[in-house]
Structure formats: C-alpha cells, structure tokens
C-alpha cells in the first residue's frame, strides 16, 4: 500500500517525470473504466448561504453578492433544455441553508426533474444537512451527493472555516450519505491557505479510506472579498498531480476535471483529462445568474448558450482521443463494484 511519503514524492514530480505520472494514470483509467468522459450539466440554482467558509465568495458575510434562488420552474426548464442536447446527468448546486423551506424547495426541484426525466442522474451539492433531509432528497430521486471535505486535516479545516464549522459534522454527513445509499463524492481544495503537501497526501489517503465513489477537487483560487483574498492561487501542476495520484490509488472512481482548473489556465480542464480525470461539468446555469455565482475571482463566465458550451466541452474531449459519453448518466464503476460486494 502506498505510503504518505511515496505520495508526497509523486505530488512533487515536475517536467518529464510529471508527464510520465499523468500517462501512467491515464493508462489505468483507460484500461479499468475506458476512454469515456461523462458530462454533467451543472445548475448553480441558488447562491443564498448561511455559512461563513473563509475561502468562498458567496459566504454569508459577503454583502456585495446579489442573492438569487431560481424558481423550480426555471430550474426544470433549464434541465429540459440540457436534456434535449444530450445531457443525462445533472449537478444541482447551491449555497447551504438549513430550514424546512430550503429542504422542501430542493425536494420539489428533484421531484420536478424526475417527473420529466425519470432516468436522469441527479447529483445534489447543497452542503451539510440532517439525515432526515438527505432521506427526503434521496426519496425524491437524487442518487448522488457531492460534499467536499475541503481538507482532511482537522486543524487545517478549522483554519479554513469560521467558528461553528465542525470537522466532525462534515464527516458525519459523508458517512450518513453513504449509509443512505447515495453515490458519494468528496474532494479538497488544492493549495488553499496554510495547507502543506503532507496535508494533500493525507487527503488522498482520506478519500481512499472513505471509499468515495466520485471526487471533485481543484485549485484554491482567491476571492477578493473574503478573508483569504490576499493568498495566492493553488499551483496547476500540483492540482494535476493530485488527480493522477488519486487515479492510481482509486482506479474506478469518477474524477472531475473542475472549473477551477480552467480558471488557472485556458484549456485547464483538458489538462485535467490528460491527468486521468473522466468527468466534466459544463455549467448550464442560465446566463442571467452565472455572474452571481462567483465562488472565486476570475471564474470563467461564458456568454455562450447551453448548446455552444456543450460543443466546446465535447470538442475538447474528442481532441484528446477520448469519447464524450453523451446520452449516458455515468454511474461510477466504483459504486457498482461497492454495491456488488457490499
Ligand atoms: N455549499 C455547497 C456547495 C457549493 S461550494 C457545499 O459547501 O458543499 C462548492 C465547492 O466550491 C466547495 O466545496 C469548495 O471546495 C469550492 N470553492 C469554494 N470557494 C473556493 C475558492 N475560493 N477556490 C476554489 N474552490 C472553492
């Protein structure tokens, strides 16, 4: 089994050795799960948030954010439009509110999407919630849930979050989601303030030990209106190496090539695929809201329409000799294996 020290060494690789690492990871991806890249339409349906994560641009203390919550009807329409061009899986993401009102709002959204598209894969990414809430959303039809641990180092977690955020609560949520039968995704920010390379190696081992099905991780990118606005962004090569090392550690999970990569470098998402990611999540948020969901500065806000955004993503995938798996919901092989053995 790979040790923390070995992982640190791999994360430090640059130049030719780094390219070799990425190639090896891609060979593992191709032989274990194939050359298919799954597409998820990302709907950032609300930026209302009750949390104060110190890195995040839509945290509750940022009063320069124009808050919005899309109507259930608008969300359903946006999913319909994306379905028509070939998406079969959707990530519904928002800030985090904990109230009966928010729970039933999300429940209605999921029910509305399921009513029109019963075979669609719905992933929710709406933060920490009670077991009861997770149960209601699952029963409405959500099968996947994304909740990043952000950092697996408890002390570091406390540095990244305002008082009141509890590492154990986050862990409890991840365990509950799994027990409730969700396909569970987690991940971390790479190069966040006060993080060490040993922390990142620990993150890989954490994701392995949690036996997650999906991972989304990307570089930290500062947002000027937050406590961490003055910190530098995470390093691209480090983020790419994290993807490659994770693939070597967990060959059959889904790994997303995230938008934050694209923020650091044009075509950064393609670099993520070349480091062995197998999922991309183009935004399908209606244009009038895109500019208000700014988790960090310089987040690319496209003025293209949904079909054009998809075309760009598909071309990017195909230019690498990979296949854009349109029309597929894209369950992670890891989840199917876990279910068969469990
Ligand atoms: N509220 C939900 C989902 C929205 S935030 C939740 O907390 O799970 C989605 C992800 O964006 C976070 O998990 C975090 O990893 C990432 N993010 C937030 N601010 C960021 C920043 N400044 N740089 C990079 N990633 C960031």
In the numeric block, the tokens 């490659």 are attached to: 244
Q: What is the pLDDT of residue 342?
A: 59
Minimum CA distance residue for ligand 1 atom 8: 127
Point out the ligand 1 atom lying closest to the alpha carbon of residue 150: 15
Q: How far is CA 325 from CA 29, 122, 330, in A?
A: 15, 16, 8
Q: Is 150 in the pocket of ligand 1 (CB under 6 A)?
A: yes
Q: In this structure, what token pair is assigned to residue 278?
A: 């197998």
Spatial CA neighbour of 83 closest among 310, 321, 318, 294: 310
CA distance 66 to 327: 35
Ligand 1 pocket test: which of 60, 189, 221, 293 has the largest number of ligand atoms within 8 Å of its C-beta? Answer: 189
Of 166, 260, 252, 244, the residue nearest 212 (C-alpha) = 252
Q: What single-letter DSSP state applies at residue 41?
A: E
Q: Which atom of ligand 1 is nearest to the CA of 228?
A: 22
Local confidence pLDDT in tens for the 342 residues of the chain: 789 999 999 999 999 999 999 999 999 999 999 999 999 999 999 999 999 999 999 999 999 999 999 999 999 999 999 999 999 999 999 999 999 999 999 999 999 999 999 999 999 999 999 999 999 999 999 999 999 999 999 999 999 998 889 999 999 999 999 999 999 999 999 999 999 999 999 999 999 999 999 999 999 999 999 999 999 999 999 999 999 999 999 999 999 999 999 999 999 999 999 999 999 999 999 999 999 999 999 988 889 999 999 999 999 999 999 999 999 999 999 999 988 875
3-state secondary structure 96-165: CCCCHHHHHHHHHHHHHHHHHCCCCEEEEECCCCCHHHHHHHHHHCCCEEECCCECCCHHHHHHHECCCC
- The pLDDT value recorded for residue 300 is 86
Identify whether the C-beta of residue 214 lies closer than 8 Å to the C-beta of residue 184.
yes
289 lines ligand 1 (CB under 6 A): no
Q: What's the CA-to-centroid distance between 218 and ligand 1, angstroms?
A: 10
Are the C-beta atoms of residues 279 and 258 closer than 8 Å to each other? no
* Ligand 1 mean position, distance from CA 130 (Å): 20
Q: How far is CA 53 from CA 66, 95, 103, 276, 287, in A?
A: 18, 11, 21, 29, 26
Ligand 1 atom 6: residue of nearest CA: 127
Confidence (pLDDT) at 268: 94
Contact 160, 222 (CB under 8 A): no
Report which of 213, 155, 157, 159 is spatially closest to residue 186, judged by C-alpha positions. 213
Whether the model pTM is above 0.75: yes
d(CA 214, CA 333): 10
Pocket flag, ligand 1, residue 217 (CB < 6 Å): no
* Whole-number Å distance between alpha carbons of 100 and 295: 25
Angle, helices 236-249/197-210, rounded to nearest 10 degrees: 30
* Residues 27, 318: Cα–Cα separation, whole Å: 17
Ligand 1 centroid from CA 83, angstroms = 26
Who's near 29: CB < 8 A, 6+ residues apart?
A: 35, 247, 251, 276, 278
CB of 41 closer than 6 angstroms to any ligand 1 atom: no
Other CB atoms within a 10 A radius of the CB of residue 3 amount to 10
Alpha carbon distance, N-terminus to C-terminus of the chain: 22
The alpha carbon of 295 and the centre of ligand 1 are apart by a number of angstroms equal to 6
Contact indicator for 206, 177 with CB cutoff of 8 Å: no
Distance CA 215, CA 147 (A): 9
CB–CB of 11/248 below 8 Å?
no
Contact 126, 163 (CB under 8 A): no
Q: What pLDDT was estimated at residue 339?
A: 85
């Amino acid at each position: 089994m790979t040790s923390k020290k070995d992982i640190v060494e791999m994360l430090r690789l640059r130049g030719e050795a780094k390219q070799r690492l990425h190639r090896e990871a891609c060979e593992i991806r191709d032989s274990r799960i194939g050359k298919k890249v799954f597409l998820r339409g990302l709907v950032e349906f609300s930026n209302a948030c009750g949390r104060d994560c110190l890195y995040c641009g839509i945290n509750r203390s940022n009063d320069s954010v124009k808050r919005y919550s899309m109507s259930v009807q608008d969300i359903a329409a946006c999913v319909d439009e994306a379905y028509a061009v070939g998406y079969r899986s959707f990530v519904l993401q928002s800030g985090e509110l904990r109230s009966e009102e928010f729970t039933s709002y999300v429940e209605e959204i999921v029910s509305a999407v399921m009513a029109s598209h019963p075979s669609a894969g719905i992933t929710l990414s709406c933060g920490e919630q009670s077991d009861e809430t997770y149960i209601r959303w699952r029963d409405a039809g959500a099968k996947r849930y994304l909740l990043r641990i952000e950092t697996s180092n408890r002390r570091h977690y406390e540095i990244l979050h305002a008082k009141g955020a509890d590492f154990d609560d986050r862990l409890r949520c991840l365990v509950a989601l799994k027990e409730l039968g969700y396909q569970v995704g987690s991940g971390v920010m790479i190069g966040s303030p006060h993080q060490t390379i040993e922390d990142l190696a620990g993150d890989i081992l954490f994701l392995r030990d949690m036996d997650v099905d999906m991972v989304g991780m990307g570089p930290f990118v500062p947002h000027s209106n937050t406590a961490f606005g003055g910190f530098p962004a995470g390093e691209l090569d480090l983020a790419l190496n994290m993807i490659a090392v994770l693939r070597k550690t967990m060959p059959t999970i889904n790994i997303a090539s995230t938008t934050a990569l694209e923020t650091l470098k044009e075509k950064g998402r393609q670099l993520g695929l070349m480091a062995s990611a197998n999922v991309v999540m183009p935004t399908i948020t209606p244009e009038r809201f895109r500019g208000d969901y700014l988790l960090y500065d310089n987040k690319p806000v496209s003025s293209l329409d949904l079909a054009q955004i998809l075309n760009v993503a598909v071309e990017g995938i195909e230019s690498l000799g990979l296949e854009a798996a349109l029309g597929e919901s894209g369950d992670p092989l890891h989840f199917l294996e876990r279910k068969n053995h469990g």
